[in-house]
Amino acid sequence: MHMGFNAALSMFEVHLPYDDIHVNSFKVLDKWIHFIGNENLEYDSTITYASREKNEFVSYLLVGDKIKGFVVYGFKNLQVYLKESLKMNMVPTLKHLINNKNVTHLQIVQEVMKKTDMIECYRHKAISECSRINTYNYEQEDQKITHDIMKRSLTAYNAYKDHLDKVHKKDLKDKEEKMKLEIENEKQRQIELDIQMKLNKDLNRERDLSKH
């Protein structure tokens, strides 16, 4: 509705700023491709300027005989000027585009530059917002990493403690087994010693009897 209202006013040469313009971007190979226009734009046809030598193109998205959006690839910052031309209803006519499609984008830049006093710059707000978002993301990521490190450290500590407990229990068990074995051996030596003493005693008694 807002777009239709502004389009109708532009027919009477009344130019009002139009702010509902989106710029969606993604990278193709080493360059960016930008869509400029209404988020749900349904266009009828396109007219494209392309340069194979410079590896760049501009597609003008048409609804009827009106330019309502752009697709830009290979240009540096051109999307900024095209967006402003849509906001200020400064796009050329279809007839002008057909006759000058190779230079229309340059002409749009020139026209927008003449109206730079009407363009609000939100760069500082964007930088501040991005900085805040990046800081928040960093803090969240830092907390996540710290929590993960603490969790891993606690798991490692518990595993090490369990290992020490097992080693300690094994050592205690080995010591108990060794002590039991020593006690058994001592008992066995004592029995053998008693038997030997008894045999010696009997042997001495027999000797004494044989003398008499």
Residue 211 has pLDDT above 80, yes or no: no
Interior CA angle at 135 toward 129 and 137, to 5°? 100
**Of 119-128, 132-141, 178-187, which gets the smallest average pLDDT?**
119-128
Q: What is the pLDDT of residue 76?
A: 86
d(CA 202, CA 123): 115
Task: Give the CB-side neighbour count of residue 80, counting CA atoms within 13 A.
Answer: 11
Q: What pTM was computed for the model? A: 0.47
Average pLDDT (55-81) is: 91
Q: Indicate the helix (H) or strand (E) that contains 7.
A: helix 2-11
**Lowest-confidence segment of 7-11, 79-83, 102-106, 190-194 by average pLDDT:** 7-11
pLDDT at residue 49, as a whole number: 92
- Two structure tokens written together for 63: 């609804």
Residue 58, H or E segment: strand 56-63
For 146-202, give the DSSP string: HHHHHHHHHHHHHHHHHHHHHHHHHHHHHHHHHHHHHHHHHHHHHHHHHHHHHHHHH
Q: What is the DSSP string of 77-134?
A: SHHHHHHHHHHTT-PPPHHHHHHSTTTHHHHHHHHHHHTGGGPPP-HHHHHHHHHHHH
Is a pLDDT exceeding 60 seen at residue 69?
yes
pLDDT of residue 21: 81
User: Token digits for 98?
Assistant: 């057909």
CB atoms within 10 A of CB 81: 22
**Burial bucket for residue 45 (CB in 10 Å: 0-12, 13-18, 19+):** exposed
Burial of 176 (0-12, 13-18, 19+ CB in 10 A): exposed
Q: What would the mean pLDDT of 42-60 be, rounded to a whole number?
A: 91
Work out the pLDDT band at 125, boundaries 50, 70, 90.
very low
**pLDDT-derived band of residue 124, with 50, 70 and 90 as boundaries?**
very low
Handedness of CA 158, 161, 165, 171 (dihedral sign): positive
Domain residue spans in the chain?
Answer: 2-118
155 or 58: which leads in pLDDT: 58
CA triple 46-50-55, angle to 5 deg: 135
pLDDT of residue 36: 92
Identify the CATH number of the domain defined by range 2-118. Answer: 3.30.390.30
pLDDT band at 10 (very low <50, low <70, confident <90, very high): low
d(CA 56, CA 49): 8
